[in-house]
Amino acid sequence: MAVVNPDLSREQSMFARGARSVAGLDEVGRGAWAGPVSVGVVVLSASSCSSIPAVRDSKMLSKSRREALLPAISSWALDAAVGHASPQECDRHGMRAAVALAAVRALEGLTTVPDMLIVDGPLDLLDLGVDQALLRGRNGESRRWRPSVVEAVVKADQHCGSVAAASVLAKVTRDRMMRSAAESFPAFDFDNNVGYSSPTHQRALRGYGLTSIHRRTWSFVDSIPWMSSPMSPTTTQR
């Protein structure tokens, strides 16, 4: 399969329509068993669209390449931020709401609200019937953080430079968080699996059980023999 290099055609079309700033947004950690779900947002100005770092969807890059790209992304972007929803919030609210909550926190971390936003996926994750009270800004405003135009683009992380950059930013930030937790949970090998399934992670769960940073309502809990009794119901989350 041919590798697709992201470009800035979508962003440039937004500037042509009158935007003063355009942002790309992407999430990482949705499928992890431990740790937060994280959302990155990268904001571009019109002048930023004259060039692009060698970004791709973070899943297509090695750890060393993602780390090396971070300074270039920081220099290129007008603004950038990462928001997180904790494992407990993933359990309490479900993944869709947790991703939206992390996205709001990322947008709140910006110095200004971008005029237009590109979201990876078929749907606007900020407007999917999620309880709007949950997504209120930290000062109580319901939509202060929301750009006036939000466009959901399928495979935007493969095609749109700002979204690819956001995926790299979110991935590097989340991976660093998980590696910083590794010392507290040495049996789980978070240095290498950063909270995702791996043979070592699975063995540690069977031997030690859930840690304080595991998601407790995910289906993997059913594979822990002493956690899967009728007294400990679980639900399937992806």
pLDDT tens-digit series, residues 44-60: 999 988 888 888 778 88
pLDDT above 80: residue 129: no
Is the domain of 31 the same as that of 98?
Answer: yes
- Which pTM does this prediction carry? 0.89
Is residue 62 included in any domain, yes or no? yes
Domain count along the chain:
2
Q: Do 27 and 111 lie in a common domain?
A: yes
Let me know whether 16 and 66 are in one domain.
yes
Burial of residue 44 (number of CB atoms within 10 Å: 0-12, 13-18, 19+): buried
156 with 55, same domain: the answer is: yes
In a domain, 236, yes or no: no
| Position 34 in a domain | yes
Q: What local confidence, expressed as pLDDT, does residue 173 receive? A: 98
Cα 47 to chain centroid, rounded: 26
CB 118 within 8 Å of CB 156: yes
The per-residue pLDDT for range 157-180, each reduced to its tens digit, is 999 999 999 999 999 999 999 999
pLDDT, tens digit (0-9, with 9 covering 90-100), for 165-222: 999 999 999 999 999 999 999 999 999 999 999 999 999 999 999 999 999 999 999 8
Confidence of residue 234 (pLDDT cuts 50, 70, 90): very low
Same domain, 93 and 209: no
Classify residue 79: in a domain, yes or no.
yes
Q: Does the pLDDT of residue 227 top 90, yes or no?
A: no
- What's at 72, amino acid-wise? A
Q: Is the domain of 187 the same as that of 177?
A: no
Q: Which of these ranges, 33-37, 98-102, 224-228, has the smallest mean pLDDT?
A: 224-228
For residue 116, the enclosing domain spans 9-181
Contact call for residues 172 and 165 (beta carbons, < 8 A) = no
| Distances from the Cα of 3 to the Cα of 64, 214, 234, angstroms | 19, 34, 39
Asked if residue 2 is part of any domain, the answer here is no
Q: What is the mean pLDDT of residues 118-144?
A: 70
Determine which of 73-77, 142-146, 213-217 has the lowest per-residue pLDDT on average: 142-146
Identify whether residues 173 and 189 lie together within a single domain. Answer: no
My answer on whether 188 and 117 are in the same domain is no
- pLDDT above 60: residue 132: yes
What confidence score (pLDDT) does residue 230 get?
Answer: 38
Is the pLDDT at 236 greater than 50? The verdict is no
Within-domain flag for 234:
no
pLDDT digits (tens, 9 = 90+) for 1-39: 456 789 999 999 999 999 999 999 999 999 999 999 999
Asked if residue 237 has pLDDT above 50, the reply is no
Alpha carbon distances (Å) from 233 to 91, 157, 204, 222, 226? 13, 36, 21, 9, 12
Same structural domain for residues 177 and 206? no
- Listed ranges 95-104, 123-132, 139-148, 220-229; the one with the highest mean pLDDT: 95-104
- State the average pLDDT over residues 54-70: 87
Q: What is the mean pLDDT of residues 52-71?
A: 87
Residue 209 within a domain = yes
Judge if 108 and 198 occupy the same domain: no
At which residue do the structure tokens 């135009």 appear?
149
Asked whether residue 163 is domain-assigned, the answer is yes
Q: Are residues 199 and 86 in the same domain?
A: no
